Amino acid sequence: MNVLVVGCGKMGSDLAYRLFRNGHIVTIVDKDLNAFNRLPPDFRGRMVEGDALNQDILTRAGIQSADALTSLTDYDSVNMVVGHIARYNFHITNVVVRNNFPNSLSLFETFNLQVISASIWAAQRVEEMIHHNEIRSVFSAGNGEVEVYEILVPEGWSGCTMEELFLNQDCQLVAVTKGGKAYMPSPNQKLELGDIIHVSTTYDGINSIRERLSHSRLEGVL
């Protein structure tokens, strides 16, 4: 794959090197020549100095033949404009851009760009690791709006059915693992202590499930 990376900061340089190590053709653009010092010495991709808001610079970097573009600068306005240029001027369908400030996330959505908001995603992960290590995220879609969670059935809910556990919750059951073997669950499937459930839900949904699991099913939570 031919990938154009805009922004040779910590994230951009790490991504460019990973792509290069995995056999992709990589070109990285940054307006600061010294930024390329972040790349490891064995990086063999192209490095183009210049302002990515200048379409001549993007053309020199080979945007017209790129299969994918990602803009990872520290400036949301730059990432939005570069992503928009890639999508609508050069018809690149595989475009991913970085959002730095949560209050500007809605602007990215207006541009209909695939966006990664590192601060929002990281904050949710840290919160889960600190407060909710009994339920962990194993897959995140978008910026964590919908995720797949792994839930270990606690003692207080042994013997309940799927329907009882997830009553009125906005979630989608993915799988249950029992004794090391995974299967597709039915609503009336009874769960046992130690079973592992994978469920897809929102951030609010998983917090509601955590609240339910904090009580025994015999406490009248149902």
Number of structural domains the chain divides into: 2
What is the reported pLDDT for 207? Answer: 82
Give the span between the Cα atoms of 71 and 77, in whole angstroms: 11
The arithmetic mean of pLDDT across residues 110-130, rounded, is: 71
Reported as a single tens digit per residue, the pLDDT across 50-96 is 999 999 999 999 999 999 999 999 999 999 999 999 999 999 999 99
E-strand ranges in 31-159 read: 46-49, 68-71, 94-99, 114-117, 135-141, 146-152
Write down how long the chain is: 222
Specify the residue for token string 């190590």.
Answer: 21
Give the span between the Cα atoms of 146 and 178, in whole angstroms: 25
Q: The domain that contains 200 carries what CATH number?
A: 3.30.70.1450
CB neighbour burial string for 23-34, b if at least 16 within 10 angstroms, e if fewer: eebbbbbbbeee
78 in any annotated domain: yes
Say if residue 111 is in the same domain as residue 211.
no
122 in any annotated domain: no
Domain enclosing residue 107, as ranges = 2-117
pLDDT band at 44 (very low <50, low <70, confident <90, very high): very high
The arithmetic mean of pLDDT across residues 173-188, rounded, is: 84
What is the reported pLDDT for 143? Answer: 67
pLDDT band at 221 (very low <50, low <70, confident <90, very high): very low
205 in any annotated domain: yes
